[in-house]
Amino acid sequence: MAKAHCQRRVQVHSRRLALTPLPSHSASPIGVFDSGVGGLSVLRALLAELPDEQVVYVADSGHAPYGERDDAYVIERARAITAHLLTHHHIKALVVACNTATAAAIHLLREQHPQLPIVGIEPALKPAVGLSTTGVIGVMATRSTLRSDKFQRLLASLEGQARFVVQPCAGLALAIEQFDTIKIEAACAEYTGAMGSFGTKTGQIDTLVLGCTHYPFAESHLRAGTGAAVRYLEGGAPVARQTRRLLQAGQAICAGRATGSQQVVFYSTGNPLTLESAAKRWLGLEQSVLPLAV
């Protein structure tokens, strides 16, 4: 059987993206991390966009939820996981599949690792402005994300273009992490109820931005409060497209992988069974999760 052939060049010239040479071969994996299982929504988009790439996914469930932590704690975790992925897996790119970690730490990770392409995620406010017809947009996220300077700058940049109804959702990510249906239903009902009227009439929220990677997995419960007509936006697909662009610019796209190789290797700092169950339920992947102490 022919082995996958992945080739890269030493120097890259691009008008749009100028990258220093990547620290690893194009056959190296992409690293992805989240505070827990929520980043699987981003992983799902990555696997669809880049089907030949190998991925190492770290769920930092032993230190979740990030959304209820302060910035210093999140920064320390982000640095530790990034160092682990570089040292032990020689990743060629990093995806920070967590809104809270992106807001708190991505600028520091880029300073610390200037040769590593790093892609973060942020609430999809800009796309929402272009899609909303009523001009009223709901945003659900963790308190840490909403109070971050990064989010506040994003919100300020769109002043006058729409009215944003911003809702912190304490406890929702953790309930999703724990597959606690009763708490998920209660939280979704509470937070959608607090945001006001949803629908397509004047003054109603017609577009809802899911500003946490966990929240797409609660969509069926959120729909009970918003109705079917409301458009939902999440950040997985834009992250996947940006990851592809950076890898292409760095001549680091893998053209294929060896027959029989495992596309995703999962690690968890918490209970591995939680991530195994989530990957099977939401991605249809049945494979073991390795414990990680970092």
Q: What is the pLDDT of residues 124-167, one digit of tens each?
A: 999 999 999 999 999 999 999 999 999 999 999 999 999 999 99
Q: What is the largest CA-CA distance in the chain?
A: 61
- Say whether both 197 and 67 belong to one domain: no
Residues 6+ apart with CB under 8 A from 28: 54, 89, 90, 91, 92
Q: Which of 234, 250, 271 is the last residue of a domain?
A: 234
Is there a domain that residue 269 lies in? yes
Mean pLDDT of 261-269: 89
By mean pLDDT, which of 18-27, 38-47, 61-70 is the weakest? Answer: 18-27
- Number of domains composing the chain: 2
Mean pLDDT of 163-172: 97
The percentage of the chain sitting over the pLDDT mark of 90, rounded to a whole number, equals 85
Mean pLDDT of 16-31: 62
Is there a domain that residue 189 lies in? yes
DSSP per residue, 225-291: HH-TTSEEE-SHHHHHHHHHHHHHHTT---S---TT--SEEEEESS-HHHHHHHIIIII-----EEE
pTM (two decimals):
0.86
Rounded distance between C-alpha atoms, residue 45 and residue 3, angstroms: 26
- Say whether both 246 and 221 belong to one domain: no
Q: Which residue has the tokens 């940049």?
A: 157
Rounded distance between C-alpha atoms, residue 47 and residue 275, angstroms: 17
- Say whether both 41 and 178 belong to one domain: no
For residue 68, name the pLDDT band (cuts at 50, 70, 90): confident
For residue 5, name the pLDDT band (cuts at 50, 70, 90): very low
pLDDT tens, 232-255?
A: 999 999 999 999 999 999 999 987
For residue 294, name the pLDDT band (cuts at 50, 70, 90): very high
Exposure string of 65-98, with b = 16+ CB inside 10 Å and e = fewer, is bbbbbebeebbebbeebbebbbeebebbbbbbbb
Query: Is 212 labeled as catalytic in the residue annotation?
Result: yes
Rounded distance between C-alpha atoms, residue 48 and residue 15, angstroms: 27
The packing angle between helices 99-112 and 149-157, to 10°, is: 110
By mean pLDDT, which of 7-21, 32-46, 110-124 is the weakest? Answer: 7-21
Is there a domain that residue 185 lies in? yes
Residues 6+ apart with CB under 8 A from 226: 138, 192, 198, 205, 208
Is there a domain that residue 18 lies in? no
Mean pLDDT of 262-269: 92
Pick the catalytic residue: 6, 98, 169, 254? 98
Which domain range does residue 207 map to?
125-234
Pick the catalytic residue: 6, 188, 212, 254? 212
Q: How many CA atoms lie within 13 A of 191 on its CB side?
A: 29
For residue 20, name the pLDDT band (cuts at 50, 70, 90): very low
Is there a domain that residue 61 lies in? yes
The torsion region of residue 101 among left (phi > 0), alpha (psi -120 to 50) and beta comes to: alpha
Determine the pLDDT at residue 46. 96
Is there a domain that residue 1 lies in? no
Mean pLDDT of 205-218: 96
For residue 260, name the pLDDT band (cuts at 50, 70, 90): low
Is there a domain that residue 4 lies in? no
Sign of CA dihedral 204, 208, 209, 215: positive
Determine the pLDDT at residue 65. 86
Rounded distance between C-alpha atoms, residue 25 and residue 40, angstroms: 25
Query: Is 169 labeled as catalytic in the residue annotation?
Result: no
Out of 2-6, 24-28, 67-71, 207-211, give the one with best mean pLDDT.
Answer: 207-211
Mean pLDDT of 62-76: 91
Determine the pLDDT at residue 4. 43
Determine the pLDDT at residue 275. 96
By mean pLDDT, which of 3-7, 210-214, 216-220 is the weakest? Answer: 3-7
**What's the CATH number where 162 sits?**
3.40.50.1860
Mean pLDDT of 23-37: 86
